[in-house]
Amino acid sequence: MAAGINAQLSESLTPGNVAAALFVFVISSFIVDFARKPRYTEALPRVGCGGGLVGTLKNFFFFVTRYNKWYSKHGRAFVVPSAPSRPQEIVVPRSQAAWMLELPDRVLSTKEAHRDTLHNDYQFFGMDDEFPVHTIHKHLARNIVGLIPGVQEEVHDAIDATFGKDTDNWKALALWDAWLGIIPQVTNRIIVGLPLCRNEEFLKSQVGFADDIIRNGFILDAFPRIFQPLVAPFFVLSNWWHWRTSYRHAKPVIEQRLHDMERKASGVDPAYENWQPPEDMVTWLIRQAKTDGLDAELNAERLSKRILPVEFAAIHTTVMTGFNLMLDLLTSDPSLKALETIREETARVFAEEGGAWTKQGLARLHRTDSAIRESMRFSNIARSLTHRKVVAPEGITNAAEGWHAPYGAFLMLDLAGTHRDPDLYENPDEYDPWRYSRQREEHEAKTAGEKGSAEDTLRIQRLGMVTTSAEHLSFSHGRHACPGRFFVAHELKMILAYLVNNYDIKPLAEKPKSMWVGPNMIPPVQAKIEVRRRKVTV
C-alpha cells in the first residue's frame, strides 16, 4: 500500500501541478490579505485606479501624486492607493492637520506606522526607533554647539576626499555617489565618533544597510502580509550581512565606551577622574539607558542595532535632500546667481566668525537657509512623511466630516500636493532659492512702525528650514517631527558653504527627471556634474 501511495504522489507532483498549486496559493494569499485590510466608508472619495485587488496593483505602478486640488483644499479627506500588502491611506486635509497630530499615541501611533511601513520586525531585527528617538530628543539639542567643530572637520575631510584638489582640470562626478561620499562620514561623526566615522568598510556597510531597507521595503510591500514570514527572512539576509560587517568594527568601540563610562561612574579609578566621554550617539544611548534603568540595552550588540534606524534615516533622507539641492541650484534661473550669492554670504559670515562655524554664524545664513528650504519644498522625496496608524481598538471618528477609521487604518498628510499648492506658494512649480529670505529681508528693511504686529514678525521668524507647519512638511510636523532636523540644517549649510567656496561647479542645462514608484520618488542617480578645485579657497 505504501508503495502505491508513493507512486500516486510521484505522479501528482508534476512540475505543472506544483506550479498550479503555487499559483493558487499565492492568489489565495492576496485574497485573504485583501479581505483582512481595514475598510473605509464609501462616503470618503477615492483617487487612483480603484480599491479592488486589480486596482491596488495598478495604483502601485501608475501612481497619482497630486490630489490636493481635488479634495484637501476644500477641507475634505480622501483615500489614496497604497502598496498591495498595505491598507489604503486616508489623506487628512490641511484644515484638519491639528486634529490628526494632536491625537495621543495610544489612538494614532507614529511608531506602529513606521513599524509597518519599514517592516521593522524583519528589517531592523525587531528593533524600533522609539528609544533612539527619545535619546536624540534628550541629548542632541543640548550638545549641538559642541558638535559643530567636529562636524566642520568631517565636512572638509569628506569633500576633499570626494571632490579632489585638482585646480587645473575639470573632474566628472556622479552626484549621487558624491553625496554618499560625504553624508555617511559627516553624520557618523555624531553617531559613532572618530576614528570609526572614517572607517571605509563601516561606512559602506551602513550605506548598504540603508539601501537594503529601501529595496526590501519595495519587495515586501508586493507580497501579501500572510506570505511575508516565509519570504522576509530570505530577503533580509543582506540586512544581516551589512549589520554584521559594521558590527565587527563597531563592537570594540562600543565595548570600550561601556567600560570607560562604567569606570568613570564608579569613581574608584583615578585614571578616569578628568576623563569625559565623547558626545556622540553611542554615549547618549548608554547614558539614557542608565538613566531609564534599561540594563538590557547596555551591551555592544544591542547598542549597535539601536543605531541602525538612526543611520538609515540620517543617510537616506539627507543624501536625497543634498542631491536634490545641488540639482536645483545647478539648474536654477541664471539671473538669480544662486551659487554666487550663497558663496558671498557664506564666505562673509565664515570670515566674521573667525574661520570656524558657530551656531550663531550658521543661523545668520538666511539666503543659504532659504535655498535649502525651498529645495525641500520643490523637490519632494516622498508623497508623505507624516503617517499615523490607528491603534485604538474602537478606531477613530472624524468630527469635522463624520467618517470613521477602524483599527489598523492609516492616516497621512499630503506633502507633495501641499508643497505645490498655488494658494500657498506663488509659482509653486518653480525653484526660487530666495523665496523665504526675500520675505525676511523685506521685513527687516522696514522701520519699527512699518513692521506691523508681533504676529507678523513671528511669521517671518518661522521661515527657517527647521520650522515645520501644516504648509511645510519636509521634516513632518507636530510632536513627532524629525528630532534631528537642527543637526541636518547645520550639516547641509556647512557642506554647501565649503563646496561653493572651494569648488567651481558647471551648471546643468536641465534638471534630470526623477520617477515616482508607488509613494516614493526615485532620484536620477545617473546624474553627473563637473567640478574643479578653486585656486583661492576658504
3-state secondary structure of 103: coil
With contact defined as beta carbons under 8 Å apart, do 492 and 475 qualify?
A: no
Residue 390 Cα distances to 93, 128, 353, 519, angstroms: 17, 18, 49, 20
Q: Which residues contact 332 (CB under 8 A, 6 or more apart)?
A: 338, 431, 433
3-class secondary structure for 496-522?
HHHHHHHEEECCCCCCCCCEEECCEEE
With contact defined as beta carbons under 8 Å apart, do 383 and 519 qualify?
A: yes
- Centre a 10 Å sphere on the Cβ of residue 55 and count the other Cβ atoms it contains: 15
- Centre a 10 Å sphere on the Cβ of residue 155 and count the other Cβ atoms it contains: 25
HSE toward the beta carbon, residue 288, CA cutoff 13 A: 20
Residues paired with residue 91 on neighbouring β-strands, in sequence order: 78, 412
Q: What is the dihedral of CA 17, 20, 24, 27, to 10 degrees?
A: 160
Asked whether residue 482 is marked as a ligand-binding residue, the answer is yes
| Cα 488 to Cα 465: distance, rounded to the nearest angstrom | 10
Residues paired with residue 387 on neighbouring β-strands, in sequence order: 412
| Cα 52 to Cα 301: distance, rounded to the nearest angstrom | 44
Positions at the binding site for heme? 482
Positions at the binding site? 482
